[in-house]
Amino acid sequence: MAYPGQSEGSDLILADLSLDIRDGEFFVLVGPSGSGKSTLLKIVAGTETQTEGQVSTHGAPVKGPSRQRGMVFQSIDEPLFEWLTVAQNVGFGPSVAGKTRAQCREIAAQYIALVGLKGHETKFPHELSGGMKQRVQIARTLAAEPDLVLFDEPFAALDALTRRVLQKELIAIWQATGRTMVYVTHDIREAVILGQRVAVMSRGPRANITRSYDIDLPYPRDDLDGRFADAVRAIEADIERESSSQWD
Ligand SMILES: Nc1ncnc2c1ncn2[C@@H]1O[C@H](COP(=O)(O)OP(=O)(O)OP(=O)(O)O)[C@@H](O)[C@H]1O
Ligand SMILES: [Mg+2]
CATH number of domain containing 177: 3.40.50.300
Identify which of 243, 153, 150, 236 has the alpha carbon closest to the alpha carbon of residue 202.
243
Q: Are residues 141 and 153 in the same domain?
A: no
Q: How far apart are the first and last CA of the chain?
A: 25
- CA gap 62, 65 in Å, rounded: 8
Co-location of 178 and 227 in the same domain: yes
Task: Tell me how crowded residue 6 is: count the other CB atoms within 10 A of its CB.
Answer: 14
pLDDT for the residue numbered 241: 87
CA of 118 to the centre of ligand 2 (A): 31
Average pLDDT of the residues in 82-107? 94
- Of the two residues 246 and 81, the one the predictor is more confident about is 81
Q: Of 145, 160, 195, at which residue does a domain stop?
A: 145
Domain that holds residue 166: 11-68+146-247
Q: Does residue 117 lie in a domain region? A: yes
Distance 213 CA to ligand 1 centre (A): 24
Average pLDDT on 184-192 reads: 96
Q: For a pocket test of ligand 1, which of 37, 151, 203, 210 has the largest count of ligand atoms closer than 8 A to its C-beta?
A: 37
Phi, psi at 59, each rounded to 5°: 85, -15
Helix (H) or strand (E) holding 182: strand 180-184
Secondary structure element (H or E) that encloses residue 78, with its range: none
Is the model's pLDDT at 9 over the cut of 80? no
pLDDT band per the 50, 70, 90 thresholds, residue 8 = low
Q: Is residue 224 part of a domain?
A: yes
Which residues pair with residue 29 across a beta bridge? 184, 199
131 lines ligand 1 (CB under 6 A): no
Mean pLDDT of 51-67: 90
The predicted pLDDT at position 30 comes to 96
Q: 96 and 64 share a domain?
A: no
